A and B are shown apart, each in its own frame.
Chain A
């Protein structure tokens, strides 16, 4: 069985700031990042959909001890974001001083972008990863609705 949305297609779309996911034709659940079947019901009848990339920070960490080859990136902040469509995805938080990141960012609304990880000796090529930015104007706008 062929993938509806394989990793390279997902990663290449991310490079254009498009977040792709799968919508289950059987139960309606959105799966992102993609796997072969619906994460909820395991049905393989999936449709590729574009997601908004908008979501809420659920948790985070600021990393000071980086793996080999990525020392120059530290300190950096990793976040897990609950997308408005349901699933959580992981990425990096930017536009904020890592030293200022604390528990108060949980629940913040974020907007979406990307950055390319070029890969290292142990990776099979490059991979795009989501970047998130706390969007205060988005937050204000939504609070006023």
Chain B
């Protein structure tokens, strides 16, 4: 297997009510990636595209084929991936396999969502499709409800008073907004306070509005290349050193493990193992903070905190740039936004930029970062992880 490098990327601003169509967003991010990778669209040998709800939001399926046409890489194989909110990361992982195997030298991975076009009621309905339609949806499951139940279970299992946990959860959102202000592509560029989080409208107990990431429109793209090609095109190649992915059944079926997510523990172990690293080697991490409690649950599975203790990391600022483990310095899904087909690719591009040292001007650079981790969760069961490294 050959080493695979991320040689460039592109990213639209994430927002509500984008004036562009989904295809336009996808093409803008993709062309930005092509241009800053110093290649031509005709150099792209295959397209791997993440898009989850284009059929509901715009009546558009098969967007991957139109994207290839839109940017002039005609007739290449273009394949769409769907893994709910983990879509982008599984697209990057599979695309990397094609380059690693030697079939292709240069591929485009891109993802898009235009979720706000649906409006909140339909968006809530369609996002609930990534839970079980037979055994969960009839009881009124929504996505916030899944994490709300995990929050109550977390408080109960680890004997943390709910008020204390809620405060720790609030610090997760507050930090995300703090970095969102510094990220020009973030949907929310405004700081929030503890009072504001705890005073917000209740979505589903105990999650209030500012515990939840938004619906978003936006796109992201990266170009992957073989090591040989990468070294010709960039003096700062970042490599996909390890990857992992795992699946699960519906939430209640995971009862012997909850509130831990076993799929994440399996996936990240694969990624760490393949890269030959462990949690202590990670300099910066983008993880799947769809809800404030999701971050707390995730860092424990990723090995950055003992089970039942992760809330303290945010409370003490250990997740900031100069902390023990910098997390979601992009603003995360909470402040940067969460266009689900693009999210994983956005995370990969963010970590790539961190490892290349490109975020100094934005005041978001983790100094000297060499190894980064991407963590993405789809529905109540797909988890994908990538370890990125520079030499």
Contact = CB atoms under 8 A, between A and B. Distances in A.
Interface of A: 7, 11, 33, 35, 39, 58-71, 73, 76, 78, 80, 82, 87-92, 101-103, 106, 117, 120, 122-124, 127-130
Contact of A60 (B133, B144, B152, B251): B152
B139 interface: yes
B194 interface: no
Interface of B: 120-122, 124-126, 128-129, 133-142, 144-145, 148-150, 152-153, 155-156, 162, 201-207, 249, 251-253, 255
Contacts of A124: 133
18 contacts: A35-B253, A39-B253, A59-B149, A61-B149, A61-B206, A62-B205, A63-B142, A63-B204, A64-B202, A64-B203, A65-B142, A66-B142, A87-B253, A90-B135, A101-B205, A103-B155, A106-B152, A129-B135
A89 B141 contact: no
Contacts of A35: 249, 253
Contacts of A33: 134-135, 252
B124 A66 contact: yes
A39 to B, nearest CB: 6
B121 A88 contact: no
A61 B204 contact: yes
Give the 6 A-B residue pairs with the shortest CB-CB distance, closest first. Answer: A117-B138, A61-B148, A68-B121, A88-B255, A129-B138, A67-B125
Contacts of B155: 103
B59 to A, nearest CB: 14
B262 to A, nearest CB: 13
B140 A78 contact: yes
B121 A78 contact: no
Contacts of B145: 61, 63, 78
Contact of B141 (A60, A90, A130): A90
Given A39-B253, A88-B253, A129-B139, 8 more contacts: A59-B150, A60-B149, A66-B142, A69-B121, A102-B205, A122-B125, A123-B137, A129-B135
B139 A91 contact: yes
A85 B150 CA distance: 22
A97 B152 CA distance: 18
A71 B204 contact: no
Contacts of B135: 33, 89-90, 129
Contact of A67 (B128, B202, B253): B128
A140 B140 CA distance: 31
Contact of A68 (B124, B134, B140, B251): B124
A80 B128 CA distance: 17
Contacts of A65: 120, 124, 142, 144, 203-204
Contacts of A11: 134
A17 B383 CA distance: 36
Contacts of A67: 121, 124-125, 128, 140, 142
Output the residue of B148, B207, B253 with the most chain A CB within 10 A.
B253
A123 to B, nearest CB: 7
Contact of B252 (A66, A76, A89, A92): A89
Contact of A7 (B126, B134, B141, B142): B134
A63 B137 contact: no
Contacts of B202: 64
Nearest to B136: A90
A144 to B, nearest CB: 26
Nearest to A131: B139
Nearest to A121: B125
A61 B204 CA distance: 6
Nearest to A105: B152
Contacts of A127: 134, 137-138
Contacts of A70: 140
A29 to B, nearest CB: 11
Output the residue of B141, B149, B252 with the most chain A CB within 10 A.
B252
